[in-house]
Each structure stands twice: as C-alpha cells, then as structure tokens.
Chain A
Amino acid sequence: MIVAAGTFTAPSIDWFALAPLLVLLVGGLVLLVTASFTPQWPKHLYAYATVALGLAAMVVAFVQWHAITRDGPKLLVGNAVSYDHFSMFGIITICIGLSLSAMVTDDFLRREGMEGPEIYGLYLMAAVGGIVMVMSNDLIVLFLGLETLSISLYVLAASNRRRAESQEAGIKYFVLGGFSSAFFLYGIALIYGGTGSTNFNRILTAFDSVPLQRKDSLVLVGVALLLVGLGFKVSAAPFHFWAPDVYQGSPTPVTAFMASVGKAAAFAALFRVFVVALPNWKDDWRPVVWVLAILTLLVGSISAVVQTNVKRMLAYSSISHAGFILIGLEAAGHSGASTRSGMPSSMMYLMIYSVLVIGTFAVVAVVGRTGDGATDLGSFRGLSRQKPWLATALTVFLLAQAGVPLTSGFIAKFGVIEAAVDEHSYALATIAMVSAVIGAFLYLRILISVWLADAEVGDEKREAMHIPISTGAAILLCVGFTIYVGVNPEWLIQASDRVVLVAVPVVGG
C-alpha cells in the first residue's frame, strides 16, 4: 500500500474554478448544520441566507466569466469538469433561479406554517446538482449531478405534508424519474461499451482513433437511451406525462424552482452530451430531436388549451417551451458548437424562461392563498379589480411567455426560430410559429379571466389576497428583467454568443 502511495499522483484541483459550486455546497451544509443546533431563526433569515449564497455564487461566476474570456476555457479535476463560458452561463441561470425561488418560498412557507431550513437546504443541494450537470465533462459526473438534482426535487415536490396532492406529486415524480434514470444509466453503459470511456473528450476522439463506425449499434442504442432519459427530465413530448400532475401537485414555489433550475440544468446537460460529446453521431440524433421538438410543441400548446387549472396550464406551456428549446438543439445539430447557432439562443431562452416562469408562479402562489389550493381559472377571475398591480405583473409574464414583442419572451423565441431558419429547417420554424399562436390562446384565456370577468361567486368569503414583501420584490425583479431585456436585448445576445465556445480543449494526461 505504501509503495503504491509513492507512485500515485492526485489530480490537481483548481479550487477557484470550482468556487460557485463550493459556495452553494458549503453554504448549504453550514445552513443545515447551524439551523439544526439553533432555535427557529427570525423570519426571512433562512431565505435571505439562501438568496445571499445564490448571489455570492453568481458574482463568482461573473468574475470567472471574465477570467475565461481572458485565459480561455480548461478542464478541471482529472478532466471530469469543464470550466468555460457555457458552464458560467448555466451557473448564472441556476443562481438567478435559486435566488428568486427562495424569495418566493419565504412567504409561502410562513403562510403554510412549514417554516424551516430544510427546504432551503434542498434548494441549495439541488442547485449544486444542477451546476454539476452544467459543468460536467464525464457521463458519470453528469449522472451524479442529475440524481442530486432529481432526488432533491422528488423530496421538494412531496414537501407539503398536509396536502395529499403534494404527496401524490412526489411519489409520481419519484417512480417515473427513477424509471428514466435507469434508461439514462443503461445508455451510459452502452456508450462506455462502444467507445471505451465515459469522458466526453474520449468519447469524441474514440470516433477518430479507433476503427469505430458511425453505425456502431452499441453507441447508437446508447445515444437513444440517453435521449430518452434526458427527454424525460426536460419533459419533451412522449415523456412528458409526469409534468402536469407534478407541477400541479407540488407546492407552487417548488414548481417554480423545478421549471426554472430543473429545466435549465437538464437542457444544459442535453447540450453538453449531444453537442460536445456526440457530434459525430449528429446525423443520427438530429432527426429524432426534430420529431421530439415538433411533438413537444404541438402536445404542449394544444393540451394547454383545454385545461382549467392554471398550474396545469402552465405545466403544458412549459412543455411547449421545452419544444422551442429543442428547436435550438436541432439547429445546433446542424452546425455544431462552432458558429452562431442554436446553442447560444437556447441558453438565452433558458435564462429568460427561468425568470418568466418564476414570476408567473410567484403570482400563482399569491392567488393560491393559504392551502395553496385556489389555482383553478375561476380563482383568477376579477383579479384586476382586487389587485391591479398583481394583475399587471401577471399580464407582463403571460404576454412574454406568448412571445409578444418588447418583452424578453419575444427575444427568446425569435432567437431559436432564427437559428432554425439559418439552418434551413423551415418546417420546424413554421410549426414553432403555429404552436406559438395556439399557445397565445391559452395565455389570453387566463388574461380574459383576470381583466374582463367578474369575481367568482363566493370569492369575497375567501381570505383576502396579500402580497408579502419578498414575493413582491421577486415579482418586481422578474417584471423588470422581462421588460428590460425585451427593450434592450443586445447585451444578453452578445453574452450568449460567447457560449458557443463549448470546451473541446486538449485532453491532458
């Protein structure tokens, strides 16, 4: 043993490059440990600590963004983790989602009498999982990040112990999520069998260095199984059945977290695997993504129209947004990561959508009132008369989700459709625009209830809505971001253009 220790060289670890991850991880552990030894903290403090950690990680990511611009991307810890603009963009998206969700959760937990540090601890751990997925350069690391994120989300979905719907959402998500993880893992095993490695760079070079044909059946089946596993996590169409039930049953702020951080991390992983590791098989996976994108768009927007529960409507709308981002993946499948293409516009879409969806669900959480039950369309009737500002904020979010110009949603949708048109995927672009029109009907339906309909009979007997301070602040921030990006999008487009520099640096060692 001692002899072996002499010859062993440990991989060097660049602690600064891992800082965003470490801030959230250590912060989460310290939060959990100190909270378990101290009595209940004064109100807001758990949430503010979480927001502070999220912001700290985000600031570090900004610093690193500039460091990468200066020094170029690299691989860390034995080539397992990549440190590039793509990672940083994903980390910033995740930190925005984490901070805003924590602000909404703060008042929600107090209203429901569930105040405690555990939810925030799980948020932080889930964000760590998301960051690991975004940064991963190895299928095993990616899988561990995926499980860290998913298991936190299963628990969070079931975290409202007083509502049977929440428990049901948790168990449904858990069973189906475990099933999809099995697909993903089997895919990893087959790709390992076919290429001899789980490292992205080695998978990439396996194609050149060894007599491995593109039609190698092991890798092809592996690619298909990976697509199934990740397709489930992003709720792409044939694998979307969990989304409406889980979104509806989960506590509303958790739904916001799931739709923002969960979706951003899963899509970032999808891009990492398919654009970075498997571009040699792009002619095989691109048609499949094409079909998935169209199915997702149509299923999402058409099923949304017939729903009567607003959380369920938003779940289907989230499925249709996933379809838009898949268009970006399809476009990236044409051109790879090298040029202005689907990848930057998709990453920008994810950031914009994360903010939008948290804002929307924050409004739903306020309207849902104690018990988190009043989320059917009827509860939104006459909202404009009771809370005109809340109704205005909801209007901004829904118009942005529909893709109306001068909001961030327009920039996002325009980006992916432009990418598709650039790659001559005219059919895909046309179907995307048609489904955006179908989707607009859904948002208008909610808006008509909010602005034109009278309040539901018996609504005056319900408790009055009140907008608590940190939820209000979160909504305000989301509205500000939505309109600012809508009017002045150049900086975000330029920043996301840098994301094309996805790491394919030399393998060291």
Chain B
Amino acid sequence: MQLFVFICAAAMILGGAVGVILRSHPVHAALSLILTLFGVAVLFVAQNAHFLAAVQVIVYAGAIVVLFLFVIMLLGVDKADSLRIDPVKVQRPLAAVVGVGLMGLIGAAIVQGRSTLAQRGTGIDTASGGAGRDSNIRQLATDLFSNHVFAFEITSVLLVIAVVGTVLLARRPRSSGASDGESVIRQNSGAK
C-alpha cells in the first residue's frame, strides 16, 4: 500500500514537473505546477506530516500558483513563446547530455547512500511517535522556536528586501516625465 501511494505521488510529481517545462503556454505550465505540489502534499501525508501537507496545499498550490496566474494575466503573456530560436546550435543537445549525466550521478549517489539513510533517524519524530492530535504542529513549533529561531527571524529580512526591491524596481524613474517607461523600452529594443 505504501509503495503504491509512493509510486502514484511520484508519478504526479514527475508528470507535473515535466509539464512545467514542456508546455509552451505559461498558464498550462503553471497548472502543471499544481500537480507537482499536490504530489508533494500526498508524500507528506504518507510520512504522517499532515500539517505540512495542509500547508503545502494552502500556501503553494493555493496562494503561490494563483499569484503566478495573476502575474501571467497582468503581464499579458497569453501567447505561446516560440522555442525555435536557438542562438548557439550545440547548447540544447549539450544541456540534455549534462542534465541526464547529473541526474544519473545524483540518482546513483542516492541508491548507494540508501544504507546511510536507513541508519538515520528522522529529524522530527513522526506524529505516530508523538502524543495527541496536535503533536505535528507542536513539534514543528518547538523546533522552529528553539533550534531554528535565528533562521526564522532572519527570514523576515528577506521579506523586507522583497518589499524594498519591488518598490525600487516597479516605480517609474523620477523627474523625467511620463514618457520614461517608453524610453526604457525603446532602449531595450535598441540594445538587442
């Protein structure tokens, strides 16, 4: 049963991931991403990490992909981009070879490292080991606010940078009138 669930979830994840890079329409790619994220949620459930599974669905599949779709719609990227243009001819076959090589390397390492993984306990005890219905949340909270409290707080700096960066990049340049956005675009096309 466990193996069956794992195979189904893995197929969802991989299918979604392949879809993200193969679909040329950005909306379809974003929808494929949802499939991947749901697959990860299923794997979390299979590991008894129910809280993480719920967060995965709500935050990633719910909020983040919806944001992607908003951006796609607002930017008006509703037409498929052509992938025919290939400035350097060898780069695609080369990328495929390197990609397959890297995947093989990491796959081999994981297969060979199975014994190590088996010896290791899990970082957080699974819910079945803890007591009560909330043990998942409780253990996560304890870990977050004890071992990882510094990392937790530093994450807020990242959010500050995201806000400042967005303001800086999205605002129109000052003191040059309304036509400035156009002039940047013109420069851009001129540079190519």
Contacts and interface: CB of A to CB of B under 8 A. Distances in A.
Interface of A: 1, 4, 8-11, 25, 29, 32, 76-81, 113-114, 116, 118-119, 121-122, 125, 128-129, 132, 138, 140-141, 144-145, 147-148, 151-152, 154-155, 158-159, 161-165, 167-168, 170, 186, 190, 192-194, 196-197, 199, 210-212, 216-221
B109 A122 contact: no
Interface of B: 105-106, 108-110, 112-113, 116-117, 119-121, 123, 134, 138, 141-142, 145-151, 154-155, 157-158, 160-162, 164-165, 167-169, 172-176, 180, 183-184, 187-188, 190-191
Contact of A122 (B146, B161, B183): B161
A216 B116 contact: yes
B191 A164 contact: yes
Given A144-B158, A148-B161, A217-B109, 11 more contacts: A4-B141, A78-B148, A128-B157, A144-B151, A148-B157, A151-B162, A161-B180, A162-B176, A162-B180, A164-B190, A194-B116
B184 A218 contact: no
A437 B150 CA distance: 45
Given A144-B155, A193-B116, A80 B147 contact: yes
Given A11-B149, A78-B147, A145 B154 contact: yes
Contacts, number: 148
A158 B155 contact: no
Interface centre among B121, B149, B154 (most CB of A within 10 A): B154
A42 B142 CA distance: 48
Contact of A165 (B142, B146, B191): B191
Nearest to B111: A217
Nearest to B141: A4
Contact of B150 (A78, A118, A216): A78
A140 B148 contact: yes
A163 B187 contact: yes
A150 to B, nearest CB: 10
Main secondary structure of the interface of B (DSSP, over half): helix
A10 B146 CA distance: 6
Contact of B161 (A79, A152, A196): A152
A193 B149 contact: no
Nearest to B165: A155
Contacts of B150: 76-78, 80-81, 138, 141
Contact of B174 (A80, A113, A121, A138): A113
Contacts of B108: 217
22 contacts: A1-B134, A4-B138, A4-B141, A8-B146, A10-B145, A76-B150, A80-B150, A125-B161, A125-B164, A140-B151, A144-B151, A147-B158, A148-B161, A155-B164, A186-B106, A190-B106, A193-B117, A196-B120, A196-B121, A197-B123, A220-B109, A221-B106
A95 B142 CA distance: 35
Contacts of A140: 148, 151
A118 B109 contact: no
A79 B151 CA distance: 11
Nearest to B192: A164
B112 A217 contact: yes
Contacts of A8: 142, 145-146
Contacts of A81: 150
Contacts of B147: 11, 78-80, 199
Contacts of A220: 109
Contacts of B172: 161
B2 to A, nearest CB: 19
Contacts of B146: 8-11, 78
Contacts of A194: 113, 116
Nearest to B168: A118
A81 B158 CA distance: 18
A9 B146 CA distance: 8
B46 to A, nearest CB: 18
B164 A161 contact: no
